Amino acid sequence: MPLFQKDTVEAFEEEVYLSIRYQGVIDEIVVAYYTGDQFYLPLTELFDIFGINYEFDPSKLSIGGFYLTKDIRYKLDFTSRQAMVGSQQFQLDVNNYKIKELDFFLTPEIFNEVFGLELIVDLSRLSIRLVTKNQLPVVKRHTQRNNDKLRARSNPSVEEQYDLLMGRDPRILDGALFDYSLLTTVTSQRQYGSLNLNLGGEILYGDVQGTMISTVNQDTTSLTGTNLRWRYANESQPWFSTVTLGQQSASGLSNLTFQGMTVTNQPLIPLRSYDNYSIDGTTDPEAEVELYQDGRLVEVIQADDIGYYRFLVPLNYGTSEFMLRIYGKQGRVIELERRVQIPFNFLPAGEFRYDLSGGKIASETLDWGDQLNTSSGNLSFGMTNWLTGSLGVEYFENSNQDRPAFNTKLSSRIAGDMLVSLDAVLENFYRLSVRGVGPNASSFSLDHTYFSKQDIYNPLGIKQNLNMNLFYPLRLGSMRFTGRSAFRWVKREDSDQLDIKLDINQFLRGFRFRYGLNEQHNFTPTGHQINSEIILGAVYILPRLPSYHPLLRGSYFRADLSINSSIGEAEELKFQYIKQFSSKLKTQVLTTYNLLQSSVSLEIGLTWDLDAARSTSTFRSTRSSPSFTQTVRGSAGLDRTNGEVIWDSRQQVGRSGVSVRMFQDENNSGTYDMDEEIIPGNAIIIERSSSRMVTKSGITRLTQLQPYRRYNFRVNEAKINNPILVPSKPTFSVIMDPNRIKRIDVPFYTTGIIEGRVDRARGDHLLPVAGLKIILRKVDGSFETILRTFADGGYYSMEVPPGEYEAWVDESQLQFLGVRSSPEKLTFYVLGTSEGDYVEGLNFILE
């Protein structure tokens, strides 16, 4: 038998290009043959697309390997016309296959019979539809990559970082951000105004910020400064992260404000990932189980033959909401919820954190020399993944008999869902805290503190303090309820105080009804006093339906009635109305009727949330006098490199920003030059961020970014109006500078064109080879495509991004033909120019 079959003159046979798409993973074009009543599909080309292993033996006209798993071997021998998959044997009919120069071609029936791949050809659409019960290797790899990406989104510590385009760029003097709040109040008796300015910048390679407050009334005018501090950040050493000078809060248990210095190795960017968390259970055998974390689908698995399933997911700091959705037998769907809490003071095993600080306790009335001294130190260590311990010492002048106070803390996670911590300040106080979560998002907490004496940790002279809270959701039929209870006991030297709060919410047909009880009991040597209040309320949000008037559509209504049960009389009636007219305009009306004093108060507010500022106007009318308050809040940032001021309605001080300039690099310099064309449009995507985007003068600005953090950026090329332009870096990362708007330049180049041909040596002649696959790949791996040779042996590609490339003939086809390529591989450059590069002569000879 010859290597490939010769077509007779009488035989009708036509090449057909067919598209195949499958599960959003496969989207390819294959070359098939059509004889008028039968299609023949390429074997090795489809196996390449499906990711199925194969090895070709040209001397025996056979192909084999393993199918889906390594324990299932297969072989197709076209010499003996035998096929084998596992232990099954099949006979091949000569009419069910064709042997061509570049591949074996099988009928769809053979693919289905031998491999269980049902390939349905639709001639009218020139497409192939694939149906199979097996999971193809290419789909399995795609699913695994998606799961890895989902885990990375939940766990920033394993998040893929793009190539760093710009790192931290510390400056001696730079940055200019300020937040402002302008308040004016007018009443019949007085007028009052104030202006708060929070300033931020960069000085001596560190970020600095402070606040100036100016007040004006009929009698006085004042100007004061406060909260001035400077912070230097070190990102390279684990034992030291920041040093802070100026006014700040102490890191110890007192949390007092002081003026001085703090040194710490606390991470600049708060960690989110803590540990791995196991979620398992049993359900119907082979049921499909979906896991959602904080509303996002994380993973899908199938329970085993006895119904057991297990997930291992990253556990983040804070509260994580998990939901299991199980698709069981007979179409039933089961949903289970679980909530897990990880305090931010927890540390993974083996990690340690420290804080050292010292200075003067801040005072508005005392001069610096008269302020009291203070110092503190704290060391925390992750003993295990469920236990974190810390030791600390604090000193406050003229407190605790002028001696330092030593403290210790143990924080533990028990049974995965319960948190227990113990705080102790020797000779001062001892505190036990327990927090837990239960099924259906229920939760409870308990805190008990015992104080040894009255001092800076206990200025109110409390002996004991106990707090208990319980939240529990409940469903009865179609009605949903939530119950919340709170209990507080405060014991002093000569009195006890009990506070009890009960709150039940009922959800019924769009309404939320509230039933509440507040009681306060005071026990003193002279007797027992009780204050009791019953609260009844209802909330309703009018649906956004066209049948309602636009002024009412989506309106929020709330009514509350409070009853003083101690005297048995209704005390106060409140009615609230809120209407969001648009994304920028909102109004609210609140009226209160005091039933005991027969008085009415009214409050009307109007809020304009514009891009540059936020305005709030409030009118209040009480029995005494009316008043009007106008507040304007916002921020401004100097984009120094572009010479513009960026106004925003949100705060910017303590944050970072970037201005992204996309331009066509006409001289291939890599930097922007005067008169080069700015590419307009918001084509920049920043990942894992809720930043605000502003486009001005063709430049995209992103604000509200976290300083010192490394962000991933991606260019959305679909939003570039000129399709032949490509960015020099479609993905990159940048480290943010504090209190600055950082400029990023993204050069664009015109794509190039490449051209070549493939010929086969036949004696002294060169014959063109059609249908051959040429692999074109960028050396850095950012671009790869497959080209096919035409009938004349030529191939070409347009819109090739600039860069260094490699091109070679598909090895499996070379093996099929029994030839070698000269050269084996071509290496060449596509230059980035304004007109686009043209590379030709990329020729191969098959020998």
User: For residue range 663-674, what is the model confidence (pLDDT) as tens digits?
Assistant: 888 777 778 888
Average pLDDT over every residue of 409-432: 86
> Does residue 341 sit in helix, strand or coil?
strand
Give, in degrees to the nearest 5, the angle at Cα 274 between 273 and 277. Answer: 100
- For β-strands 257-264 and 352-361, DSSP reports them as antiparallel
DSSP of 199-246, one letter per residue?
A: EEEEETTEEEEEEEEEEEESS-EEEEEEEEEEEEEEEEETTEEEEEEE
Residue 309 corresponds to which amino acid? Y
2: confidence class by pLDDT, cuts 50, 70, 90: very low
Tell me the residue ranges of DSSP E strands in 92-205. Answer: 97-99, 104-106, 118-122, 127-131, 164-166, 173-187, 191-203
How far apart (Å, rounded) are the C-alpha atoms in residues 456 and 685? 50
How far apart CA 259 and CA 257 sit, in angstroms, is 7
Write the pLDDT tens digit of every residue in 367-412.
888 889 999 999 999 898 788 899 999 998 888 888 899 999 998 8
What is the CB neighbour count within 10 angstroms for residue 17? 10
Q: How many residues does the chain have?
A: 847
How confident is the model over 451-467, as a mean pLDDT? Answer: 89
Q: What is the torsion angle, in degrees rounded to the nearest 10, for the CA atoms of residue 365, residue 367, residue 370 and residue 376?
A: 90
| Token duo for residue 373 | 């001294």
Show the tokens assigned to 86.
């596992």
d(CA 135, CA 203): 59
Q: What does the pLDDT average to over 825-836? A: 85
Out of 107-116, 539-548, 567-576, least confident range:
539-548
In angstroms, what CA-CA distances link 716 with 577, 704, 711?
42, 21, 16
pLDDT band at 583 (very low <50, low <70, confident <90, very high): confident
Please enumerate in sequence order all residues whose Cβ is within 8 A of that of 94, keeping only pairs 6 or more positions apart, or say none.
81
- Quick one: which of 231, 174, 161, 163 has its CA closest to 742? 174
Closest CA to 315 of 301, 288, 294: 294
Residue type for position 241: S
pLDDT of res. 106: 93
Beta-bridged to residue 838, according to DSSP, are 753
- pLDDT tens across 439-448, in order? 777 888 899 9
Tracing tokens 């959701």 back to the chain, one arrives at 473
Whole-angstrom CA distances from 167 to 152, 233, 251, 442, 790 are: 22, 14, 30, 45, 47
Collapse the DSSP code of 356 into the 3-class scheme (helix H, G, I; strand E, B; otherwise coil) and give the result. strand
Host H or E run for residue 33: strand 26-34
Per DSSP, 286 falls in state T
Contact 801, 749 (CB under 8 A): yes
Q: How far is CA 828 from the centre of its chain?
A: 39
Round to whole Å and give the CA distance between 450 and 464. Answer: 5
State the residue for tokens 């390939």: 119
Instruction: Report CA torsion sign: 642, 648, 654, 660.
Output: negative
Centre a 10 Å sphere on the Cβ of residue 453 and count the other Cβ atoms it contains. 12
Q: pLDDT tens for residues 715-770? A: 888 788 777 888 888 889 999 999 999 989 888 888 889 999 999 988 888 889 88
Q: What is the DSSP letter of 328?
A: -
List residues bridging with 95 in a β-sheet: none
| Of residues 493, 487, 496, 494, the one with CA closest to residue 521 | 496
Q: Whole-angstrom Cα distance, residue 656 to residue 643?
A: 17
Q: How confident is the model at residue 777 (pLDDT cuts 50, 70, 90)?
A: very high
Q: Between 559 and 509, where is the model more confident?
A: 559
What pLDDT, in 10s, does the model give residues 202-240?
A: 999 999 999 999 998 877 888 888 889 999 998 777 788
Tokens, residue 699: 């430049």
Token pair recorded at residue 805: 């490339």
Average pLDDT over residues 515-522: 93
Reduce the DSSP state of residue 469 to 3 states and report it: strand
Flag whether pLDDT at 313 surpasses 90. Answer: no
Handedness of CA 650, 651, 652, 656 (dihedral sign): negative
- Spatial distance between the Cα atoms of 771 and 90, rounded to a whole number of angstroms: 30
Residue 531 clears pLDDT 70, i.e. is over it: yes
* Closest of 240, 258, 238 to residue 248, by C-alpha: 258
Q: pLDDT (tens digit, 9 = 90+) per residue, 59-107?
A: 778 889 899 888 889 999 988 899 999 888 999 888 899 888 888 899 9
Question: Using CA atoms, how far apart are residues 485 and 313, in angstroms rounded to an integer?
Answer: 33
Q: Retrieve residue 818's tokens.
A: 């029994």
329 Cα distance to chain centroid: 34
pLDDT of residue 158: 46
**Can the peptide bond before residue 314 be classed as cis, meaning omega within 30 degrees of 0?**
no
826 phi/psi in degrees, rounded to 5? -105, 135
The pTM (predicted TM-score) of the whole model is 0.70
C-alpha separations of 613 from 180, 260, 579, 605, 642 in Å: 10, 35, 20, 17, 22
CB burial string 482-509: b at 16+ within 10 A, e below: bebbbebbbbbeeeebbbebbbebbbee
Assigned token pair, 437: 């979560």
Nearest alpha-carbon partner for 28 in 54, 52, 53, 49: 49
Q: For residue 3, is pLDDT > 50?
A: no
Confidence band of 474 (pLDDT split at 50, 70, 90): confident
Distance CA(769)–CA(759), nearest Å, equals: 6
Which of 296-310, 515-529, 705-719, 785-799 is predicted with the least confidence, judged by mean pLDDT?
296-310
Mean pLDDT, range 831-845, rounded to an integer? 86
- Closest of 543, 520, 544 to residue 532, by C-alpha: 520
